[in-house]
A and B are shown apart, each in its own frame.
Chain A
């Protein structure tokens, strides 16, 4: 029987990989993702691009809601800020992509600081509703500041190109998004295993106790907001480049709620969970799309859309009811059962 992994020093406790097996699998995954576009069709690649972009934003939200315990429905607002910043810079000022995407992230981070300040005094559901207010206000501001944002007509972004190389197809865009996603995952993992991440966890468990132990709660809460909105801003900017068009409709409150449901389905607080949650929720939507379209005219387009909504709602409810730890919880349970077989854990 395997005895499990025993960590003998602090260094091992906070290392990026737990054990050699994990390292090998991670490298295998990286190689597989590098090779993926060669085998996949264009449609699937573009779907995966969408998933990876969503994953970047959701990893950010996971740092805020899952790790620091600050519930936020503001992710759509930050996504909008990032997306619009990138689109305006690329369309109106013809800036290159490698400037636009970070600029989107930084702009969203600045807004994150702004939203983070009220969060210092608010807790739980009061905070959730305040961030919800932010999403509504930002959409409205974008609609009314027509001279900058072109109002309700939206903006078409330039074709994505990096260092003179045009990323015209989904497959070439894939590598850009993959690179950013890897950076995002590394960033999130590194934050979590550092002093900052431990402060985040302390704040999640009990913020008064954290303060008593010498964690500067105000600074770290703001930090969580800024990092999380930076991630969302980057995701928004990439989204603008992927769709080549931004419009407030793509950043409605529903997106915020979807993002929260993704981290719940995946498993709160875990980076891998965030990615799995995105794949599950978006994958489910895609499968339902496929099923309904193959049924053809048997069902009107409205009822197909509504049925999708119903199944989506039901999924959230069932997960929370039967598997509050999400897909990661299921994975851990099965892993333990497998490792300890034939004994019960």
Chain B
């Protein structure tokens, strides 16, 4: 039983990161119907930027996080302006390939600037943590869980009550009609990219604090794919929930069934789930008319 709890808790703590990255995927897909393959790379970029800031100014953790939120918002806006906006009107697949090209470029830039060696993100919450019975959690892991909760609640409130959030839902429902109703669709797109980048940035800082920085950090973005597919590509909350589900499942399968299953159990699950529910657990089925 202890083993089970241990696996579950550590699964939740990694699943939270999947959930956060997945929320970024889902938000962008919901607003613009494009999957941003560079989400993991954006996360990596921001956490390396956080490294540079933290090592030159030694800010306290919360101010560092604040700086990174602003920084990642700017990065998100820049990406949208430089790479994505020119692709408006092209088919979705082309835009997706642009995000893949962008991902390759960001990976290269990160290694060119910061080098390929693994590094530690120097923050003042570094190794501190709390022990719950026999489970030990780093402070950053607890913050990550808290941040996911804040994000889920914040996104819900944003989409439900704010003017911009309603505009985003309208754009997601039908772009042309939204445009005709006077919604500034390009601004909605830009906002979606900015919010996704902020979520990625904060999760990057947390991930860097927990596991350190390395040039393979972007693979977390790949590993978060099962989460967003399981939840349904256009369901922001589905991504958060199934992120945790996938994280726990990965750990349990690794612990009870066999070594190495951690890497693929999420992908195996989505293959099965997609056969039964092609739009994931919470995704909206697309109704096609010919």
Question: Measuring CB to CB, which residues of chain A are less than 8 angstroms from any residue of chain B?
Answer: 71, 118, 121-126, 128-130, 132-133, 136-137, 140, 143-144, 206, 208-209, 212, 253, 257, 260-261, 264, 302-303, 306-310, 312-317, 320-321, 324
A314 near B94: Cβ-Cβ < 8 Å: no
B275 near A121: Cβ-Cβ < 8 Å: yes
List B residues 242-276 near A (Cβ within 8 Å). Answer: 258, 260, 263-264, 267-268, 270-271, 274-275
A260 to B94, CA, bound (A): 11
* Nearest-CB residue, chain A, relative to B259: A144
**Using Cβ atoms and an 8 Å threshold, which residues of chain A touch B286?**
123
B229 near A118: Cβ-Cβ < 8 Å: no
A294 to B238, CA, bound (A): 52
B233 near A126: Cβ-Cβ < 8 Å: yes
Comparing B51-59, B104-112, B203-211, the segment that makes contact with chain A is B104-112
Knowing A133-B225, A137-B264, the reply to whether A314 touches B101 (Cβ < 8 A) is yes
**Using Cβ atoms and an 8 Å threshold, which residues of chain A touch B101?**
261, 313-317, 320
B278 near A124: Cβ-Cβ < 8 Å: no
Interface of A is mostly: helix
Knowing A208-B288, A302-B116, A324-B90, the reply to whether A118 touches B107 (Cβ < 8 A) is no
A128 to B99, CA, bound (A): 14
6 A-B pairs (CB sep. < 8 Å): A125-B233, A264-B94, A310-B108, A317-B105, A320-B101, A324-B94
B274 near A307: Cβ-Cβ < 8 Å: no
**Using Cβ atoms and an 8 Å threshold, which residues of chain A touch B260?**
140, 143-144
Query: In angstroms, how far is the closest chain B Cβ from the Cβ of A181?
Result: 25
Query: In angstroms, how far is the closest chain B Cβ from the Cβ of A20?
Result: 36
A71 to B101, CA, bound (A): 16
Knowing A313-B101, A321-B87, the reply to whether A125 touches B92 (Cβ < 8 A) is yes
A137 near B267: Cβ-Cβ < 8 Å: yes
**Using Cβ atoms and an 8 Å threshold, which residues of chain B touch A118?**
271, 274-275
Q: Quick check: is B132 within 8 A (CB to CB) of the other chain? A: no
4 closest A-B pairs by beta carbon, nearest first, are A313-B104, A316-B101, A313-B105, A133-B267
Other 7 A-B pairs with CB < 8 A, given A133-B270, A308-B108, A317-B101? A137-B271, A257-B100, A302-B116, A316-B101, A316-B104, A320-B95, A324-B90
* Nearest-CB residue, chain B, relative to A268: B93
A212 to B288, CA, bound (A): 13
* Nearest-CB residue, chain A, relative to B107: A309
**Using Cβ atoms and an 8 Å threshold, which residues of chain A touch B35?**
125, 128-129
**Using Cβ atoms and an 8 Å threshold, which residues of chain A touch B100?**
257, 260-261, 316
* Nearest-CB residue, chain A, relative to B96: A125
Q: Quick check: is B86 within 8 A (CB to CB) of the other chain? A: yes
A130 to B268, CA, bound (A): 9
Q: Quick check: is B214 within 8 A (CB to CB) of the other chain? A: no
**Using Cβ atoms and an 8 Å threshold, which residues of chain A touch B233?**
125-126
A321 to B229, CA, bound (A): 28
Query: In angstroms, how far is the closest chain A Cβ from the Cβ of B248?
Result: 19
**Using Cβ atoms and an 8 Å threshold, which residues of chain B touch A121?**
274-275, 278
Query: In angstroms, how far is the closest chain B Cβ from the Cβ of A113?
Result: 15
A133 near B112: Cβ-Cβ < 8 Å: no
Query: In angstroms, how far is the closest chain A Cβ from the Cβ of B118?
Result: 14
Query: In angstroms, how far is the closest chain A Cβ from the Cβ of B279?
Result: 7
* Nearest-CB residue, chain A, relative to B229: A129
A208 contact from B97, B105, B107, B290, Cβ within 8 A: B290
A320 near B225: Cβ-Cβ < 8 Å: no
A313 near B108: Cβ-Cβ < 8 Å: yes
Query: In angstroms, how far is the closest chain B Cβ from the Cβ of A101?
Result: 29
A313 contact from B102, B229, B274, B279, Cβ within 8 A: B102
A260 to B95, CA, bound (A): 13
Q: Quick check: is B11 within 8 A (CB to CB) of the other chain? A: no
A321 contact from B86, B103, B109, Cβ within 8 A: B86
Query: In angstroms, how far is the closest chain A Cβ from the Cβ of B48?
Result: 14
B290 near A128: Cβ-Cβ < 8 Å: no
A126 near B274: Cβ-Cβ < 8 Å: yes
**Using Cβ atoms and an 8 Å threshold, which residues of chain B touch A136?**
222, 263-264, 267
Query: In angstroms, how far is the closest chain B Cβ from the Cβ of A234?
Result: 25
Q: Quick check: is B98 within 8 A (CB to CB) of the other chain? A: yes
**Using Cβ atoms and an 8 Å threshold, which residues of chain B touch A126?**
229, 233, 274, 278-279
